[in-house]
Amino acid sequence: MCGIVGFNNKKSKVLASMLKSIKHRGPDDSGKYECEEFSLGHVRLSVLDLSSFGHQPMSYENFEMVYNGEVYNFQEIKIQLEKFGYKFTSNTDSEVILKAYHKWGIKAVDKFIGMFSIAIYDKNLQTVTLIRDRVGVKPLYYYFDEKDFVFSSELKPIMEYKKDLIINKDALYEFFQFGYISSNLSIFENTFKLPAGNYCVFDIKKKKFNIKEYWSILPFFELPKFKKDENELVNELELLLIDSFKYRMVSDVPVGVFLSGGIDSSIVASILQKHYGNIHTFTIGFKEAKYNEAIYAKEVANHIGTTHTEKLLDSKQAKEILDNFVEIYDEPFGDSSGIPTTLVSQVAKDAGIKVVLSADGGDEIFCGYERYWYANHIGKTIFKFPKFIRKSISFMMDLVGVKSVSKLVKIKNFEHKYNQLNEMLKDDSWKNVYEKLIHNSKNYEIKELLGFVKDIEEKSFQVGKKEHPMQGMMLWDYHRYMVDDILTKVDRATMSVSIEGREPLLDHRIAQFMAQVPFEFKYKNGDSKYLLRKVLERYIPKKMIDRPKMGFGIPMFEWFGSDLKELFEENFSNKKLDKHNLLNNKYIRKEYQKFKDGSALNINKLWFILVFQLWHKKYMDEN
Length of the chain measured in residues: 623
Question: 371-395: string of b/e by CB count within 10 Å (b at 16+)?
Answer: bbeebbebbeeebeeeeeebeeebe
Question: 563-583: string of b/e by CB count within 10 Å (b at 16+)?
Answer: ebeebbeebbeeeebeeeeeb
Measured CA to CA, the distance from residue 538 to residue 270 in angstroms comes to 10
CA 181 to chain centre: 10
Please, are residues 562 and 595 in contact by the beta-carbon 8 Å criterion?
no
Pick the catalytic residue from 2, 35, 200, 367.
2
Measured CA distances, 47 to 222, 465, 522 (Å): 38, 44, 36
Helix (H, G, I), strand (E, B) or coil at 359: coil
User: From start to end of 219-275, where are the E strands?
Assistant: 255-258
Rg over CA atoms, the chain: 25
Question: 468-494: string of b/e by CB count within 10 Å (b at 16+)?
Answer: bbbbbbbbbbbbbbbbbbbbbbbbbbb
- H-run or E-run covering 562: none
Measured CA to CA, the distance from residue 267 to residue 258 in angstroms comes to 11
Known catalytic membership, residue 2: yes
CA 247 to chain centre: 21
Helix (H, G, I), strand (E, B) or coil at 43: strand
Measured CA distances, 12 to 33, 142, 439 (Å): 10, 19, 44
Measured CA distances, 609 to 105, 216, 304, 489, 616 (Å): 45, 34, 42, 18, 10
Amino acid in position 353: I
Strands ordered across the beta sheet of 208-213: 58-60, 63-71, 114-122, 127-132, 198-203, 208-213
Give me the active site residues, please: 2
